[in-house]
Amino acid sequence: MSVPLHSLRAGVIGTGFIGPVHIEALRRLGVQVTAICGSTRSARACADRWGIPEVYGDYDYQALIRSPNVDVVHITSPNKVHVAQALAALRAGLHVVCEKPLGMTSRETRRVVHATAAGQTPVFAVNYMCRFFPAVLQMRALVHRGDLGRIMHVQGHFFQDWLLHETDYNWRLLASEGGQLRAVGDIGTHWMDTVSFILGARIERVFAHLETFHKTRYRPRGEVQTFAKADPATMVPYRVDTEDFGSVLMRFGRADHPHADGVHANASISQVAAGWKCSLALGIYGTRGSVRWDLQQPNEILLGRRDEPCQILQRGTAGFSEDVAGFTDYPGGHPEGFPDSHKMHYRAVYEHIAGGRKSPVLFATAEDGHQEVRLCEAILKSSRSGRWVKI
């Protein structure tokens, strides 16, 4: 690494749930957070709380991009403005960390791919930060080294329950705001990206069945915060045009190593699964062993064997590989969590920016973000046709 991370300066667009997650993670790394952009009121509040010197209200992201004190732009705004903001930042020569999904349609996300395809461009990362849980990196290492043998099948789910009731409201429920696919788009893509990353292979075909259980929901009259409670008395009904649930079967293509070609995967995605809060769970089954993991207990992997005892691989202990050690800061038994995955993601991106430029690039690129949008489109098409669809 040629320059220390604390010499790099981040500007953050967006002050909702995820914006402060970025800010906090950046500060842990020593990165300077120099600018914030959002509604005038919340940008100001955010700046006051964190001591951020430059404030751009009125959602004036162009002004933030023009600041001479920003090296990297973090886009944590609503989905539908991601692409415009990303393109503007890239045009200004700034590096970008963009929240997922990269955009609303593959047509618009393709533009970002093209903008980053040239030779000496800025660094562009999409925030599929689940790749940076040490357990995910460890599972990837096990697969790539052949420790699990030939991978045969993958099963899992991403289950939440924050939209269980018909009175739960969030802008993501509206296709016009969040995109045509909601459960699959918002959390299913995390599952697919994580499994692709672990396997080292891309999804080539999908079969899906989507359902909307609450075809009518009720929303508050005004604005609401994510995860906030609403008062039923003030609510108005609306037609839901996004899915609550999806069963998705996937066929992966050739892997970038010899152990995971043509793998079949099966995921259930739900935002109405009572009791689960944020369970991205997966099991990867090979001819010599299996691994299972759940984001809700991120420090442990269960390693399944046939002819010897199953093992519990614990982050920070002998069960984890040396090459994963760079992605964890706390010793075994001192649990890390969700915020640490953000920190590790941004560390990888910023070290890349700072001069590292390691290969392979571990973080999700514009191409990876574009792939997830294409997958969503294929999943919708499959559910409507009742057939397998190629990407």
H or E stretch covering 16: none
Q: Identify which of residues 253 and 332 has a Cβ nearer to a second copy in the complex.
A: 332
70 touches 35 (CB < 8 A): yes
Pairing outcome for strands 236-239 and 300-304:
unpaired
Q: Identify which of residues 152 and 391 has a Cβ nearer to a second copy in the complex.
A: 152
Residue 166 CA to residue 232 CA, distance in Å, equals 10
Q: Identify which of residues 84 and 302 has a Cβ nearer to a second copy in the complex.
A: 302
Nearest to 362 by CA among 327, 328, 336: 327
CB 80, min distance to a second copy, A? 23
Q: Identify which of residues 141 and 152 has a Cβ nearer to a second copy in the complex.
A: 152
Residue 330 CA to residue 138 CA, distance in Å, equals 16
Q: Identify which of residues 224 and 278 has a Cβ nearer to a second copy in the complex.
A: 278
Residue 382 CA to residue 391 CA, distance in Å, equals 11
Q: Is 47 helix (H, G, I), strand (E, B) or coil?
A: helix
CB 341, min distance to a second copy, A? 9
CB 5, min distance to a second copy, A? 8
Residue 269 CA to residue 184 CA, distance in Å, equals 6
Structure tokens at 386: 């009742």
Q: Is 126 helix (H, G, I), strand (E, B) or coil?
A: strand
CB 238, min distance to a second copy, A? 18
CB 74, min distance to a second copy, A? 16
Helix axes 366-385, 106-117, angle to 10 degrees: 160
Q: Identify which of residues 227 and 359 has a Cβ nearer to a second copy in the complex.
A: 227
Structure tokens at 89: 């930042």
Q: Identify which of residues 9 and 370 has a Cβ nearer to a second copy in the complex.
A: 9
Considering Cα of 200, then 202, then 207, then 208, what sign does the dihedral take?
Answer: positive
| Residue corresponding to tokens 């300066």 | 9
What are the b/e assignments for 73-111, b being 16+ CB within 10 Å?
Answer: bbbbbebebbbbbbbbbbebebbbbbbbbbbbebebbbb
Q: Identify which of residues 71 and 336 has a Cβ nearer to a second copy in the complex.
A: 336
CB 96, min distance to a second copy, A? 23
CB 200, min distance to a second copy, A? 19
CB 164, min distance to a second copy, A? 5
Q: Identify which of residues 103 and 298 has a Cβ nearer to a second copy in the complex.
A: 298
HSE, side-chain direction, 13 A CA sphere, residue 115: 25
CB 34, min distance to a second copy, A? 13
Rg of the chain, C-alpha, whole Å: 21
